[in-house]
A = this chain, B = another copy of it.
């Protein structure tokens, strides 16, 4: 199935946005759209065929599973984000939909070829990959030394920022994209500890829980930052 870039919701934010219309249509021939339901897997670690994708709507998680079967969330992917492997011979991590998601999927070699044909595309991907690298290092810093309290507080603020349209100010009310268990996997904690921190923050008046996923940031200054 071919792609209809004209109606793409991330038409002017995704990596391919730097291409002009003709180039984009040409690239679109190499890709296909795919819709994932919550919990469905896009790529599995070890898959021997390289592939990559741009996320049009929804959200993904990139995870690895260690020997004892525990899952670790390495990164979240938001709309306009890019995931996958263009060069390597196999996929390094699992990529799973957090909610219903829509993507443009490309084979690795096809997309790698496109970066040769359209140099600006390579540069745009380079920028984006560097951003991913900084995000990964930020998570590393957060989960490195910080206490459970600081980790949960940091994650809350980071998600409030991601949920806000203005990139600087955090949203006051928003829905968590992750369950307690997923949050725990991302922060290297347990479900119980995450839950206790939510309770503590609410008791101290920093936040208010609205249903399972809803959060109202009552007083961000009360959150113990690292």
Contacts and interface: CB of A to CB of B under 8 A. Distances in A.
Contact of A143 (B75, B127, B144, B225): B144
Interface stretch (A20-28, A115-123, A171-179): A115-123
Interface string A119-134: 1001101110110111
A110 to B, nearest CB: 15
B136 A140 contact: yes
A143 B188 contact: yes
Interface residues of A, number: 39
B141 A143 contact: no
B146 A226 contact: no
A92 interface: yes
Contacts of A87: 127, 130
Contacts of A225: 67
Contact of A137 (B88, B116, B136, B146): B136
A209 B212 CA distance: 52
A70 interface: yes
Interface string A34-54: 000000000000000000000
Interface of A: 62, 64, 66-68, 70, 72, 74-75, 86-88, 92-93, 115-116, 119, 122-123, 125-127, 129-130, 132-134, 136-137, 139-141, 143-146, 188, 225-226
